[in-house]
Amino acid sequence: MRMRTVEISVGAFVLAGALALTFLAIKVSGVNLSRSADSYVVKARFDDVAGLRLRAKVSMAGVTVGRVSKIEVDMEYGEAVVSLEINGKPGNLSADTGAQILTEGILGARYVSLLPGADEETLAEGDFIEETQGALVLENLIGDLVTRLGSS
């Protein structure tokens, strides 16, 4: 009888550890299966989104204000359309807000940084951010440098 109690205790301990690890992995990864009730989506067109991933952070002044919810290609313009899920209610971003894709550190993950504007009008659900700057791709810069040095 004592052996059975030990086996049940060990099983419960292992199960609790597995549940704790699963919870921790979900929290650290930033996965959110449902859209927040207090959020809205705005879109931005970029010429290059190299390295940007779904659920990448969207920040303003270094503070996370949302997540990337969708990345697709507009075949008509040959640009990437990125949907940004912004926390809060519509009306907290001015219509002349800018967006750029930056890298956290030298080899860090890509994220979208919002640059606030001063316009009185605000962005509503589904509106496009007009002023954008795509990702800076190091390989392209090196290729340009080599081409320039080779033609000199």
Tell me the per-residue pLDDT of 84-136, one tens digit each, with 9 for 90 and over.
999 988 878 888 999 999 988 777 789 999 998 888 888 889 899 988 888 77
Q: How many domains does the chain have?
A: 2
Instruction: Assess if residue 151 is contained within a domain.
Output: no
Q: Which pLDDT score, from 0 to 100, does residue 98 have?
A: 92
> Are residues 17 and 87 part of one domain?
no
**With contact defined as beta carbons under 8 Å apart, do 123 and 97 qualify?**
yes
Q: Which pLDDT score, from 0 to 100, does residue 135 have?
A: 78
Tokens of 80: 């990437």
Query: Could you give the strand order of the β-sheet that contains 110-115, starting from the edge strand earlier in sequence?
Result: 128-129, 39-46, 79-87, 63-74, 57-60, 110-115, 98-103, 131-133
> Are residues 120 and 66 part of one domain?
yes
Instruction: Assess if residue 152 is contained within a domain.
Output: no
pLDDT of 36 above 60 = no
Instruction: Assess if residue 149 is contained within a domain.
Output: no
Task: Quote the pTM value.
Answer: 0.70
> Are residues 51 and 2 part of one domain?
no
> Are residues 47 and 13 part of one domain?
no
Instruction: Assess if residue 54 is contained within a domain.
Output: yes
> Are residues 63 and 103 part of one domain?
yes
Tokens of 82: 């990125």
> Are residues 44 and 63 part of one domain?
yes
Instruction: Assess if residue 103 is contained within a domain.
Output: yes
Positive or negative: CA dihedral 54, 105, 45, 67: positive
Where b means 16+ CB within 10 Å and e means fewer, 62-79 reads eeebbbbbeeeeeeeeeb
Residues in Cβ contact with 126 at an 8 Å cutoff, skipping those fewer than 6 apart? 41, 42, 43
pLDDT tens sequence across 38-93 = 889 999 999 989 889 998 999 999 899 999 999 999 999 889 999 999 998 887 88
* pLDDT band with cut points at 50, 70 and 90 for residue 6: confident
- DSSP, collapsed to helix, strand or coil, labels residue 124 as coil
pLDDT of 35 above 70 = no
Instruction: Assess if residue 72 is contained within a domain.
Output: yes
Instruction: Assess if residue 148 is contained within a domain.
Output: no
> Are residues 50 and 22 part of one domain?
no
Enclosing domain of residue 127: 39-142
> Are residues 22 and 65 part of one domain?
no
* pLDDT band with cut points at 50, 70 and 90 for residue 37: low
> Cα angle vertex 135, ends 134, 138, to 5°?
140
